[in-house]
Structure 1
Amino acid sequence: MYAVIKTGGKQYRVAAGEKIKVEQIPADVGSEIVIDQILMVGEGESVKIGSPLVAGASVRATVLTQGRHKKVTIFKMRRRKHYQKHQGHRQNYTELRIDAING
């Protein structure tokens, strides 16, 4: 069984037992969260598509870690104008383990 969930402005296809990194969620490490924004639930040939959400569906997940991704380097330059700008950015994430999908 798999589901398409929406969290942090993005959509993820998840199945039970998978680990995913999503935008930061304010939850303690080891706590269990319930994601109720389910766009689609599928099992084999049967698929339930919501409009926009599937009614009564939810996904239970456990928070494994809170962390930061690798640094993304931004470098801007204008040739022959003596303009150079260096920037860096590290995005926060929450790593989740999908425990169960209730469809």
Structure 2
Amino acid sequence: MYVLVEIKGKQYRAEPGSVLKVDRIPEEKGAAVEWNSVLLVGKEGETSVGTPYVPGVTLKTRVEDHGRDKKIIGFKYKKRKNYRKRWGHRQPYTLLKVEEIAGV
């Protein structure tokens, strides 16, 4: 069984026991978090799609860790004008361990 869940404006496919890498959420490490925004539930042989969410279905997760991704380098320049600008960005993330899909 799997679900499609919306977390902070992005969609993730989750199964019990899987780990999701999502944008940073303001929860402590080890905290339990429930998500009600389940868009789709897939079981063997049948699929139920929400309008926009499937009623009564909840994804229960636990915060495993927080971190930052590898650095992404941005660069822009203007030709013949001696203008160059370079910057880096490290996106913060949270790892969520899927414990249970409740209400199915």
TM-score calculated relative to the size of structure 2: 0.94
Deviation of residue 79 (structure 1)? Answer: 2.0
SS at match of 2:29: coil
- C-alpha RMSD of the superposition: 0.9
Corresponding position of 2:54:
54
Quote the residue 1:77 is aligned against: 77
Whole-Å Cα distance in 2 between the matches of residues 25 and 37 of structure 1?
A: 15
| Residue segments in structure 1 that go unaligned for 5+ positions in a row | none
Q: Percent identity?
A: 38
- What per-residue deviation string (whole Å, max 9, x for no partner) do you get for residues 7-26 of structure 1? 11100011111111101111
> Using the alignment, how far apart are the partners of 1:25 and 1:44 within structure 2?
32
Provide the residue aligned with 1:32 in structure 2: 32
Question: 1:39-76, CA deviations, whole angstroms, 9 ceiling, x for partnerless residues?
Answer: 00011111110000000000011100011111111011
Shifted more, 77-86 versus 8-17: the winner is 77-86
Please, which runs of 5 or more residues in structure 2 have no aligned partner? none
Give the TM-score normalised by structure 1.
0.95
SS at match of 1:65: strand
SS in 2 for 1:51: coil
Matched letter for residue 75 of structure 1: F
- Residue 44 (structure 2) pairs with residue 44 (structure 1): yes
Q: What is the match of residue 18 of structure 2?
A: 18
SS at the partner of 1:34?
A: strand
